[in-house]
Amino acid sequence: MIVTLTTDFGASEYVAAMKGVLLSMDKDLRIVDVRHDIAPGNVTEGAFALFTTAPHFPFAIHVGVVDPGVGTERRGLAVVCEGAIFVGPDNGLLMPAAKRMGVKDVRELTNPAYWRHPVHPTFHGRDVFAPVAGHLCTGTKVADLGPSIHDPVDLGFGTPETTSDGWRATVISVDRFGNVVTNVPGPEAEGRWAYGAPVRIEAGRRTLAALFVRTYANAPRGALLLTVGSHGFLEIAANGDSAARMTGLEPLASVLLSGAPS
């Protein structure tokens, strides 16, 4: 069985503790680290990591822990999908990926028989979510974890505001290359602009010129560009440089993207 981990824990002992819990329940598990460098508490960035990676796995249990509400009344969930089960907090982290894969059932984690005890209020990743995933790997039925619910928090990535010649968008994520992923669906951009068209990026007080292109190398070296990334969203990038550095954009920032006179 494959279990993936996506957290904002960084290179810390917290990740190792979760792996220890899982391996103590099934030493033959295959544990895959998706990301642990999610910005602390950035649920949107964590959701994007799950959204872009989970569909590429064979059947797996995906554990997500970006959980600024840990220890409060927020619920824990197991979301059953076509080809996957997602386990984590009910804060929207799991739902974009789950909906992409086809949600079949959502269970609230209410049965403490499948948790590690004592449960520490600041570490549900170790004491609730990892044990639940481990039990699922060893044959526990999802129905035993708790009741079905119909109102999970649905984060989504938001809907960009359409303008006369573009969008006011939100930054979902910034990757290690400095590519800035927005919440504009790629097909919408392709339906509005022709490849090679000049576009304008307004980020804070900066107004920057770019081109809408198929791939990075279609823009001049060092130039800003907009392209539809492999994740299916419109991203701001630079050929051989960091668009994040050039624009100053960070996750959750607002950015205006519009056509420019040719």
Residue-level pLDDT at 262: 56
Say if residue 211 is in the same domain as residue 249.
yes
Which tokens belong to 9?
Answer: 């824990």
Say if residue 90 is in the same domain as residue 13.
yes
Question: What is the mean pLDDT for each group of 10 consecutive residues in the chain (262 residues)?
Answer: 98 97 97 96 95 97 98 97 97 96 98 98 98 98 98 89 93 95 96 96 94 97 97 97 97 92 61
Tell me how far apart the alpha carbons of residues 120 and 255 are, in angstroms, rounded to a whole number: 40
Q: Are strands 166-174 and 30-35 parallel, antiparallel or unpaired?
A: unpaired
CATH of the domain at 54: 3.40.50.10790
Say if residue 254 is in the same domain as residue 169.
yes
Residue-level pLDDT at 250: 93
Number of domains in the chain: 2
Say if residue 136 is in the same domain as residue 7.
yes
Which tokens belong to 57?
Answer: 């796995």
Say if residue 166 is in the same domain as residue 135.
no
- Provide the CA 223 distance to its chain's centre, in angstroms: 27
Q: Comparing C-alpha atoms, which of 213, 215, 210 is closest to residue 199?
A: 210
Q: Which helix (H) or strand (E) holds 19?
A: helix 13-25
Instruction: Give the residue from 144, 179, 207 where a domain finishes.
Output: 144
Say if residue 15 is in the same domain as residue 77.
yes
Is 152 a domain residue? no
Say if residue 27 is in the same domain as residue 133.
yes
Is 16 a domain residue? yes
Residue-level pLDDT at 261: 66
Determine phi and psi for 172, rounding to 5 degrees. -85, -45
Is 70 a domain residue? yes
User: Coil, strand, or helix at residue 47?
Assistant: helix
Q: Are 94 and 88 in contact (CB under 8 A)?
A: yes
Domain assignment of residue 184, given as a range? 161-259
